[in-house]
Structure 1
């Protein structure tokens, strides 16, 4: 699957685009099975909200021994696939690198020689009746000023139908298409946000610079989202280690 020209244009103008029916029912089920296994593992160690902040990373939640998550795991396609195969079926990791990755390449490509990398992946799990909210933020600000030179895209993909009632995303689109990502200092609360009411398997592609937040889960069921992130170029930390993952989409 590739994004249409109109979807790519919407993304670059407003900082986001929602693609309905991005994943099939069968693929959603595969990601849900993995999410359930990882979440159950976290609950064996503590509380998903209090101890994990609702963020469950396949390679960072402890289901694999720390010694198994090596530099090869984090920076090569074969190493990443080998590690992910210990957690669930190959189809999940392949979908992340190929289907998600192909669309990320479309959005990040500048026509130059920089490659696109899988930067991070996580399940965002909000238990029933939880007040776990994420305040207004921009993903790019989690990185240093030097690292922000790398463009990133996050693909927020609900595995359950989502609305404000069970914890969806609210988006503050780029204010001025001619000056993407430049927000006024008093941006909070000045405009009506876009409420991402989405069906399971839809995908919300967000530029790392777009402002967004999410609501709590007031429903009686769990709400689970899968979110891979991709970067243009490998992002390194000050000690030359990778900031997170740096898995190339191509071997």
Structure 2
């Protein structure tokens, strides 16, 4: 799947882009099954809200024995993820999500992180305040642009904890914002499998889940370059998004 020039231009002006029907029904099911397996594992260790903060990182939740190579090498990452899910899942993350992220970033992209954001039933306190993802990195690390792909695995709206988005107040000078969000912020009401692409500088938040059902979102993040810490260690993952694999979706 590729984005149109109009979609790319909209993203660059506003800092976000919503693509309806980004994932097929079978791809949504693939991520739902993976999320369920990893969520069950985390519940064996503690409480999703109190102990995990509603965020489950596949390579960081203790499900796998992760060697450093799987954090930087594409084949090693695919092989590791295949321990819990069909290879089509990792290929979808790298080829489908990654190809679109690379279009928005403009050059070679790297998978920086992936996570499931799981809000349990009746968890109104499972809120995320207004923030910008870029602020999770040091000033020197911000030289690499980041795009996050917020992808609900079931329909989302205000009642079950969807994301609120504030388009760039000034498209010519997006940066770190100090003022309160303006009146153009909106709640993203999305169907399962839709994708919200967010620039790392986009300000956003989310409400709690007031419903009787789990609210699960898959969110891979991609960076323009390898984001490193001291001694050249990687801040998270640094898996290159290369040419699309021969199989990038479920047959």
Q: TM-score range by the shorter chain?
A: over 0.9
Matched residue, 1:159? 153
CA drift at 1:4: 1.1
- Distance in 2 separating the partners of 1:204 and 1:190: 20
Q: Which runs of 5+ in 2 are unaligned?
A: 244-251
* Runs of 4+ that moved beyond 6 A: none
CA drift at 1:162: 0.1
CA drift at 1:178: 2.0
Q: CA RMSD in A?
A: 1.1
- Distance in 2 separating the partners of 1:76 and 1:145: 26
- Distance in 1 separating the partners of 2:206 and 2:95: 27
- SS of 2:232 mapped into structure 1: coil
1:59-70 paired onto structure 2 within 5 Å: 59-65=59-65, 69-70=66-67
- With normalisation by structure 2, the TM-score equals 0.94
- Tell me, yes or no, if the aligned pair for 1:13 and 1:180 is still in contact at 8 Å: no
The answer to whether 1:181 aligns with 2:178 is no
Matched residue, 1:103? 100
Q: Tell me the matched-pair count.
A: 242
**Candidates 151, 163, 174, aligned match of 1:169:** 163
Q: Residue by residue, what CA displacement relative to the aligned partner does 1:137-183 show, whole Å, maximum 9, x if unpaired?
A: 00010001100000000000000100010011101110012222363
- Tell me, yes or no, if the aligned pair for 1:117 and 1:230 is still in contact at 8 Å: yes
Q: Residue by residue, what CA displacement relative to the aligned partner does 1:9-57 show, whole Å, maximum 9, x if unpaired?
A: 1110010010000001110000000000000000011000101000011
- With normalisation by structure 1, the TM-score equals 0.94
- Distance in 2 separating the partners of 1:64 and 1:46: 17
Q: Residue by residue, what CA displacement relative to the aligned partner does 1:45-94 show, whole Å, maximum 9, x if unpaired?
A: 100010100001111111113xxx12210000011011111111101100
